[in-house]
Structures are given as C-alpha cells and as structure tokens.
Amino acid sequence: DRSLLSKILVIGTVSGGSAVAFSDSRPFQRIYGDSGEGEFKKKKVVVLGTGWAGTTFLKNLKSNSFEVQVVSPRNYFAFTPLLPSVTNGTVEARSIVEPTRNIVRKKGMDIQFKEAECYKIDAEKKKIYCRTTEDRTCGGKEEFALDYDILVIAMGAQPNTFNTPGVVEHAHFLKEVEHAQRIRRSVIDCFERASLPNLSDEERKKILHFVVVGGGPTGVEFAAALHDFVIDDLSKLYPSLKEFTRITLLEAGDHILNMFDKRITASAEEKFKRDGIDLKTGSMVVKLSDKEISTKDRATGQISSIPYGMVVWSTGIGTRPVIMDFMKQIGQANRRVLATDEWLRVEGCESVYALGDCATINQRKVMEDISAIFSKADKNNTGKLNVKDLKEVVKDICERYPQVEIYLNKKQLKNINVLLKNAEEDPKKASMEFDIEKFKKALSEVDSQMKHLPATAQVAAQEGAYLANCFNRMEQCEKNPEGPLRFRGAGRHRFHPFRYKHFGQFAPLGGEEAAAQLELPFDWISVGRGSQWLWYSVYASKQISWRTRFLVISDWRRRFMFGRDSSRI
C-alpha cells in the first residue's frame, strides 16, 4: 500500500529524528513486488545510460528477478580515460568501445537494449519518454514510452560552458568518442591547411595555434597528447611548420591539476614549461569568436584576445536538460545535480536510483542525520556524552556514513579515535564527559571537506557495482524478511550504505611520463616513466572486455613500432 508507505516515511522523517534513510529500513524490498498470490512477478527495471555507471550495473547484475530495459543514445560502452589517446591516434576509437548488446548477450539474462535518448521522466506515472537521436544515418524519427517499476538513472553529464559566448559554436569538447575523432581530424586538417601555398607566416601561426581551456586532468592530458603528436609525428611530416606550432593551456585557477598533490602540480607545470607548452594560469575565457579567444586576467582584470586555429574546451561538467527537468518535478530545482541518499535512492521520489556523474549523495542531509544521532544519544539533554556513549555514536556514524570514516582515519577526526582509545585505557579518563557541540563542529568541518564525490569513472563504476549487488540480494531479502541478525532491530538498514574506495589517480604528462597519486596503505606519489608504465598496466587491466584489452595493447604496440597515423579520414 503506497499511501501507507508514504505515511510511514513521513512519520519516520518527522518523529524518528534519523530521517528517511533509517526509518524506511527496507527500500529495496519495497520495490520487489508480489503478484498478489504469493508469486513474485518480474519487476520492470529501466536503466538509462550505457556509460561507466550503467554498464557496471548491468555487468554485475546477476539476479533473474527483473525484466531489464536499457535505453541509451549510444549502443556501446566507451572507456573514457583513453579518449585523449584517441585524439592523437595512439589508440583507435573502436579499440576503446564495447557494444552494449555484446555485454548483455554474454549475461544471458532478460535484458533488452533500445538505442534512443530519454527526453522526459515522469516520476508520478512511472514512465519515461524516449526518441531516436538526430545523428541517425538510416533516418526516421521514432518516439516511444516505457513504464518502469524501478528506474536507474545513469545518464552522466554534459560539457559545461558556463554560458561563455561562442563556446558551443566554435570550440571542440572532449567528452564522447565522436568528439575525440573530430579533434583528431581537426588537428591534421590544421596542419594540411597551414602547409598550403600563399599563406603568410602570421596566418600559419594562427592556424597552428592550439588552445586548450581547462587545467584539470582531461585538459592536461589532452595538451600532453597533442604535444606528443606534434613532436613525435607531425613535425617529421611537416618539418617546415614546426616553428609555427604553439600549444596554449588556459586555466582560470592559480594552478593546473589542483585536485592532485602540490608536488604533482609543480612537476606538471615544470614539465609543460620544458616542453614549450604555454601555460597561462589565472586566465578566464570570456568569449570565443571564429577567429579569436578573449581572456580576462583574474589579477588585473585586463581583457586580451589571441587568434587561434583550434580550441578544445574542457572545463568540467554540467547537468543534462532532461535531468534538470526531472529535478524540477521532484523538488530539487535548486540543486546542481540529482541528490540521492547513501543508498543511491533519489530524494523525493520512489523507486528511482541515480548514479555516476548525474547524481551525488546529499551531504547536507548526512550532517542533519549525524546531528540527530548525537541528540538521540544525549538522552538527558545535557549536551555531554561519556566515553562509552560517544564511542557508540562514532561507531554508528561511521557505519552509516562511510564518507565520514574516510576522513576520520585521515584528517582532524583521527584525534577523536585517539582520544577515545586513551580514555578507554586510562580509568581516570573513562569517567570524562565530552562536549557534543565540539564534536559536531569537528564533523561539520569534515562535512565541508567531504563535499561531493568526484565525478569520475571510479565513483560511477563502484556505484554501479554496489547497486547491482543490492538488486541481486533483493529476492533473498524478500524470502527472509528477518534478514541476518546483524541487520535486525529498529533503525537498521538492510544494506550497507554505498562506500566509496578511492584507489588514486593518474595524469599522463606526455613524453612517456605520467603523474601517479595512489592510495596504498600509505599515500604514494610518483612522476616519471615508471608511473607511465604503471598507467599502461592499470588501464589495460581495467578494460571492459578481453577484446578491447587486446585491441588497446595492440594499438600501443603499433604506435611504438610505426608511430601514429596522420591520415585525415
């Protein structure tokens, strides 16, 4: 009974203090249906998107209790971390994609694929509306609607232009496979154009001025890949044009790769300087015309314009219109991305999950819940907790909010663990009382550091695998409603909340060098050739299939042996 359920949810939120996530203790069970005669009928699951989140979800789904429909305008999965390598021909576009139909066929499950884009989600009617995309070559426009019992939104995001005039019209993006292919063609095109007769040196300089906007990992990796292409291959084929070629990297902040350790940032900036890549930090692009790019110096406010041949825009991601429309429907209009709880359920609607770049776990709610846990433990409202109670509270918080634990181990809150341990071991300290407000303050500092999970393939893939594992256990939960002992009791959730494990990050810097920042039992930082080989091993091992693994490794070998192909096809 849905109305009864929603009442329970509301009561839980108002009186329970610990909000929906805890009061509604069996969300996955709720949506696993009963035909009315004790027989389970298959629930209709619609998955939107075949990127990192959607594909990992499908790959890990083992339960046959669902009728799954997958909708995506791309009928393949693309290994996005290798897109910069496609722009210079180190790997071929087809080597990094795997057809979705191949992936689902191997599973032998009840999964149907539909190549279309979803343009509207109606959460009330539990319906999605889809249409074929305009880039279809076989023509024909079709529209259809699908009903769902459970919706999994994994639609990713789109490039963010910050409404900068001229960007959509004149810049290249690097988000999809077609973008990478277009960039590759465009670079070669610039070289061919610049080698035509009757051009002045000024014109050649302009045509061969490549501008990359955005000093994040993608912008940096692309600039490095372009530099490699120019130095290793194009300068041999167009020797007279080498002196006219220039690569500029524009970054609005003070440094590039600012999500990496400072040592990596410094090494990358130094390497780019050595390589002759013109790095302009503190430089904000304000306008793009077909000939010039206008930038504003953040320090002086001065506006200057530089002529360019090609611009690649890589300044982060924004929300897709269909998601924004859906957010308005469910009362999330004031947010940037879809907010979910720790179990990846979209807040404000039923049976809808969101993962990957299009969603984020709502940290504000997490903090409210953490406050509520403290208040509950402080039964007499004294504002203080003894060691035993405090230890329970910290344990409870860490169990429910793993993100807190990530920081608890590392940052300021490490002190809390030490403090509790000391208090436990020292009988004098065991009777100490702790000020709740102090702890709340420490936790709110952690909250501001937690921010959102990064929009990376690593997060998206882990979320996809987590959700599939929950779905795999839904049937078991239904058959054994009591569940394992450790999950019994009021306020306990049947599944662990999503727990993100950060393994580290890479940034290839060109010239067979990469920066690596890995989370081993200790923080490991390295820049150089060794890291580049580690990068090769990790990206080969992370391929989605043996077929793409074989193709990618063959492409790397081909490049080592014969160089990159510069045909403009």
| Whole-Å CA distances, 156 to 3, 334, 357 | 32, 19, 5
Q: How far is the CB of 536 from ligand FAD (least distance, A)?
A: 13
Please state, as a whole number, how many other Cβ atoms lie within 10 Å of the Cβ of residue 167.
Answer: 21
**Half-sphere exposure of residue 316: CA atoms within 13 angstroms, side-chain side:** 11
Q: How far is the CB of 91 from ligand FAD (least distance, A)?
A: 13
145-174: which residues touch ligand FAD (CB under 6 A)?
Answer: 154-156, 174
| Whole-Å CA distances, 213 to 173, 260, 280, 409 | 10, 18, 10, 36
Tokens of 566: 């510069």
Q: Does 48 bind ligand FAD (CB under 6 A)?
A: yes
Q: Spell out, one character per residue from 111 to 140, where the chain touches ligand FAD: x when CB under 6 A holds, - when not.
A: ------xx----------------------
* Position of minimal CB gap to ligand FAD: 51
Helix and strand numbers, DSSP H then E, in the chain:
23, 27
Q: Where does this chain touch ligand FAD (CB under 6 A) — which range of 78-86, 278-286, 291-299, 480-488?
A: 78-86
Is residue 473 within 8 A of residue 29, CB to CB? The reply is no
| Binds ligand FAD (CB under 6 A): choice among 337, 460, 468, 514 | 460
Q: Does 508 bind ligand FAD (CB under 6 A)?
A: no
Q: How far is the CB of 291 from ligand FAD (least distance, A)?
A: 26
Helices 546-562 and 529-541 cross at an angle (nearest 10°) of 150
312-331: which residues touch ligand FAD (CB under 6 A)?
Answer: 320, 322
Give which of 162, 80, 177, 132 is closest to 460, Cα–Cα.
80
Q: Where does this chain touch ligand FAD (CB under 6 A) — which range of 13-21, 274-282, 284-292, 453-461?
A: 453-461
* Closer of 83 and 551 to ligand FAD (Cβ): 83
Is residue 157 within 8 A of residue 169, CB to CB? The reply is no
Q: Could you write out the DSSP letters of every residue in 68-129?
A: EEEEESSSEEE-GGGHHHHHTTSS-GGGGEEEHHHHHHHHTSSEEEEE-EEEEEETTTTEEE
Give which of 480, 465, 511, 3 is closest to 221, Cα–Cα.
511
Q: Does 84 bind ligand FAD (CB under 6 A)?
A: yes
Q: Does 457 bind ligand FAD (CB under 6 A)?
A: yes
Is residue 454 within 8 A of residue 259, CB to CB? The reply is yes
Q: Does 50 bind ligand FAD (CB under 6 A)?
A: yes
| Binds ligand FAD (CB under 6 A): choice among 18, 25, 69, 72 | 72
User: What are the E-state strand segments in 154-302?
Assistant: 158-159, 172-173, 209-213, 246-251, 278-281, 283-288, 292-297
Taken in order 93, 96, 99, 102, the sign of the CA dihedral is: positive
* Closer of 20 and 48 to ligand FAD (Cβ): 48
Q: How far is the CB of 116 from ligand FAD (least distance, A)?
A: 7
Q: Does 69 bind ligand FAD (CB under 6 A)?
A: no
> In angstroms, rounded to a whole number, what is the distance separating the alpha carbons of residues 125 and 127?
5
Q: Does 225 bind ligand FAD (CB under 6 A)?
A: no
Q: Where does this chain touch ligand FAD (CB under 6 A) — which range of 135-143, 281-289, 455-463, 490-498?
A: 455-463
* Closer of 146 and 208 to ligand FAD (Cβ): 146
169-198: which residues touch ligand FAD (CB under 6 A)?
Answer: 174-175
Q: How far is the CB of 92 from ligand FAD (least distance, A)?
A: 16
* Closer of 358 and 413 to ligand FAD (Cβ): 358
Q: Spell out, one character per residue from 467 to 506, where the chain touches ligand FAD: x when CB under 6 A holds, - when not.
A: ----------------------------------------
Q: Does 54 bind ligand FAD (CB under 6 A)?
A: yes
| Whole-Å CA distances, 474 to 5, 43, 413, 525 | 18, 11, 35, 41
| Binds ligand FAD (CB under 6 A): choice among 18, 19, 20, 51 | 51
Residue type, 558: R
Is residue 293 within 8 A of residue 304, CB to CB? The reply is no
> In angstroms, rounded to a whole number, what is the distance separating the alpha carbons of residues 172 and 93?
17
Q: Where does this chain touch ligand FAD (CB under 6 A) — which range of 262-270, 350-358, 427-435, 475-483?
A: 350-358
Q: How far is the CB of 240 from ligand FAD (least distance, A)?
A: 32
Strand-pairing partners, residue 145, are 129
* Closer of 120 and 287 to ligand FAD (Cβ): 120
351-370: which residues touch ligand FAD (CB under 6 A)?
Answer: 356-358
Q: Does 81 bind ligand FAD (CB under 6 A)?
A: yes
Give which of 539, 564, 533 is closest to 552, Cα–Cα.
539
Is residue 44 within 8 A of residue 67, CB to CB? The reply is yes
Strand-pairing partners, residue 50, are none
The count of residues interacting with ligand FAD (CB under 6 A) is 33
| Binds ligand FAD (CB under 6 A): choice among 26, 43, 59, 74 | 74
* Closer of 318 and 356 to ligand FAD (Cβ): 356
Q: How far is the CB of 399 from ligand FAD (least distance, A)?
A: 27
Q: Does 52 bind ligand FAD (CB under 6 A)?
A: yes
Is residue 390 within 8 A of residue 436, CB to CB? The reply is no
* Closer of 71 and 443 to ligand FAD (Cβ): 71
Site residues (CB under 6 A) for ligand FAD? 48-54, 71-74, 80-81, 83-84, 117-118, 154-156, 174-175, 218, 320, 322, 356-358, 455-458, 460
